[in-house]
Amino acid sequence: MLSPSLAQEIAGDTSAVIGFNVLITDAEGMVIGSGDSSRVGTFHEASVEVVRTQEAATHSAPEAQRLRGVRPGVTLPLVTDGRAVGTVGITGTPAQVRRFGLLVKRQTEILLRESVMLRSRLLSERAAEKLLADIASYDPQVVEGDFLLFRAAELGFDLRLRRVAVAFEVTVPDTAARRRGAPTQDMALIRSELLRSVREVFADPQDIVAGTAPGWIGVLHRLPARRPTTALVADCRRVADVIAAQDGLAARVGIGEPATSVSGLHDSYQDACDALRLGGRSTDDSPVHLITDLRVHQVVAAVGQSARNRLLDLTAAELRAQPDWPALRDTVTAWCENGFNLVRASAALHVHRNTVVYRMQKIEQITGRPMRDHRATMALYLACLADRLGGG
């Protein structure tokens, strides 16, 4: 609890401020911090009794001479949660240093409590990171689901509650600013700030929030009963907006499916990561992507590269040869994803409906199939997805 590095830092800084040497011992009376570094590692006999009684003691020069490693001054117990964990001593005549005693004792105990809380928080964060990593890589052939349930329960989390996985990716997109020599953000350095931003929104005690890699944060969010998906999307947008308000940062979010088991949470987290990956290649410019909207993309991405290439070659070869292929591809995608509705498709593409009509006529002329032949158009749609996913 009372680490030598912290004790030395406190003793050195305090000695410089008050002008008298301060030393700190552990519960066994060994000096672990002192403004006079030569005393570190020595035995301070007076501290043993101070720890035992939790009462301060003063020692004049004659009294100090009778005790091993003790000099004139005052020695006070350091008490945390009702237990003495060490002592703090101030060297000097008792009349001179007594007035500093209580102040130094209280300040040292405050720093100790802060250190304990920080260490506890760091340990909790690491435990949450390990739990999330184990769920993300869960294999029932390697580890029992009940074991992860037990580990989560030890941390205060019930994995049987209805949850959904959310994955955040934070990037530095301003390459132009980087070329101009502007300072860029280091994901590892701002990790704590990013975690704080996410935890402010996902603040339920059952929400598991952890960093998974530089720039990546995972959340296993507890879903309250009857909470609509739109509310979760709004929360994710709020986090993305907060992160985007920081200079040079951008955030994207992937959302999986609800689950109530370890295997279900594993699938949900993988889905959230897929939503992030696939959503970035879709025509949707929203920072939040739900796997429920990308199931077809996920299936196409899961197909082997050679099968995607063959689909492209046999379905859209002539269209891909056109100089405006990206616009034609986006038109097919918008037409299918908006219910074969001209008004909604033009709105999704941010173009006039006549532009969509022109493009559709061109597609029909080249392919020889009407766009209202939904079976053929869906095959073409899958080919467009394969192209956007890197099928070619």
Q: What percent of the chain stands above pLDDT 90?
A: 63
Average pLDDT of the residues of the chain: 89
pLDDT of 142: 87
Q: Could you tell me if 168 and 206 are in contact, meaning their C-beta atoms sit under 8 angstroms apart?
A: no
Q: Could you tell me if 97 and 73 are in contact, meaning their C-beta atoms sit under 8 angstroms apart?
A: yes
Q: What percent of the chain stands above pLDDT 70?
A: 94
- How many distinct helices (H) and strands (E) make up the chain? 15, 10
pLDDT of 353: 93
pLDDT of 111: 85
Which tens digits make up the pLDDT trace of 298-350? Answer: 998 888 888 888 988 999 999 999 999 999 999 999 999 898 999 999 999 99
Please name the residues in contact with 221: beta carbons below 8 A apart, sequence gap of 6 or more.
Answer: 163, 164, 165, 166, 202, 204, 207, 232
Distances (CA, A) of 116 to 2, 282, 358: 9, 47, 68
φ, ψ for residue 253 (rounded to 5)? -135, 135
pLDDT of 113: 83
User: Can you tell me the distance from the alpha carbon of 182 to that of 285, in angstroms, rounded to the nearest whole number?
Assistant: 26
pLDDT of 187: 62
Residue 177 pLDDT grade (very low, low, confident, very high; cuts 50, 70, 90): very low
Looking at the predicted structure, is the pLDDT value of residue 185 above 70? no
pLDDT of 223: 93
Name the pTM for this structure.
0.67
pLDDT of 98: 87
pLDDT of 150: 93
Reference 229, options 164, 132, 282; nearest CA is 164
Average pLDDT over residues 180-191: 60
Average pLDDT over residues 102-124: 83
Which tens digits make up the pLDDT trace of 6-51? Answer: 899 899 999 998 999 999 999 999 999 999 999 999 999 999 999 9
**DSSP letters spanning 319-360:** HHTSTTHHHHHHHHHHHHHTTT-HHHHHHHHTS-HHHHHHHH
Burial (CB < 10 A; 0-12, 13-18, 19+), residue 274, is: buried
pLDDT of 282: 65
Which tens digits make up the pLDDT trace of 277-297? Answer: 998 776 567 899 999 999 999
Residue the block writes with tokens 């030890």: 154
Q: Which amino acid is at 75?
A: T
User: Can you tell me the distance from the alpha carbon of 78 to that of 292, in angstroms, rounded to the nearest whole number?
Assistant: 57
pLDDT of 289: 95
pLDDT of 284: 64
**DSSP letters spanning 118-153:** HHHHHHHHHHHHHHHHHHHT--TTTS-HHHHHHHHH
Q: Could you tell me if 41 and 64 are in contact, meaning their C-beta atoms sit under 8 angstroms apart?
A: no
User: Can you tell me the distance from the alpha carbon of 163 to that of 224, in angstroms, rounded to the nearest whole number?
Assistant: 9
Reference 319, options 371, 370, 384; nearest CA is 384
Which tens digits make up the pLDDT trace of 229-253? Answer: 899 999 999 999 998 887 678 899 9
Question: Which stretches does DSSP call E strand in the chain?
Answer: 22-26, 31-34, 57-59, 73-80, 83-91, 163-171, 208-213, 216-222, 250-259, 288-290
Residue 1 pLDDT grade (very low, low, confident, very high; cuts 50, 70, 90): low
Looking at the predicted structure, is the pLDDT value of residue 79 above 50? yes
Residue the block writes with tokens 């003691």: 57
User: Can you tell me the distance from the alpha carbon of 328 to that of 337, in angstroms, rounded to the nearest whole number?
Assistant: 14
Which structure tokens are listed for 105?
């004792």
pLDDT of 131: 94
User: Can you tell me the distance from the alpha carbon of 101 to that of 199, in angstroms, rounded to the nearest whole number?
Assistant: 40
